[in-house]
Amino acid sequence: MQGKPNQQVKFKRGDDRTSRRSGVEILAEVREPGLGRIQAMIIDLSLTGFRMRCITRLTGEKNIFMALPSFSAIESKICWIEGDVYGCEFVQALHPAVFDHIVSRYPTLKMSGS
């Protein structure tokens, strides 16, 4: 039986961000085409992407759709994976007003060290 070897997808994590990130804590739904919706915790957000923690393993082979409460699903691609943390880039960047609204509505519960 031929098929793909059972290997863990590992993307190189770089730090080539083009916009600032803000800490948030948002319980969101994520869907990879061909799979059902799963829950993920969005832990930071920028105009161009986000970082999330997700217990269910995503392949990273296809774009995903991330839906925040009261928002339409946003198409994104997985750029890197480290354990259960995923770094994702939006296919189309958020409008700055939408970003500001989300960040003010869902601040992180952790104390900032800066």
Residue 97 belongs to some domain of the structure: yes
Contact 86, 80 (CB under 8 A): yes
Residue 114 belongs to some domain of the structure: no
Q: How many domains does the chain have?
A: 1
Cα three-residue angle 86-16-58, rounded to 5 degrees: 15
- Looking at residue 111, its pLDDT comes to 43
Rounded mean pLDDT of 25-44?
93
**pLDDT higher at 61 or 87:** 87
- Looking at residue 108, its pLDDT comes to 75
pTM to 2 decimals?
A: 0.77
- Looking at residue 59, its pLDDT comes to 82
Task: Provide the sign of the torsion angle of the four alpha carbons 75, 64, 49, 14, taken in this order.
Answer: negative
Domain range for 41: 22-105
- Closest of 44, 46, 102 to residue 72, by C-alpha: 102
Residue 6 belongs to some domain of the structure: no
Rounded mean pLDDT of 90-104?
94
Residue 59 belongs to some domain of the structure: yes
Confidence at 18, pLDDT banded by 50, 70, 90: low
- Closest of 50, 44, 24 to residue 104, by C-alpha: 24
Question: For the domain that residue 54 is a member of, what is the CATH number?
Answer: 2.40.10.220
Distance CA 14, CA 105 (A): 28
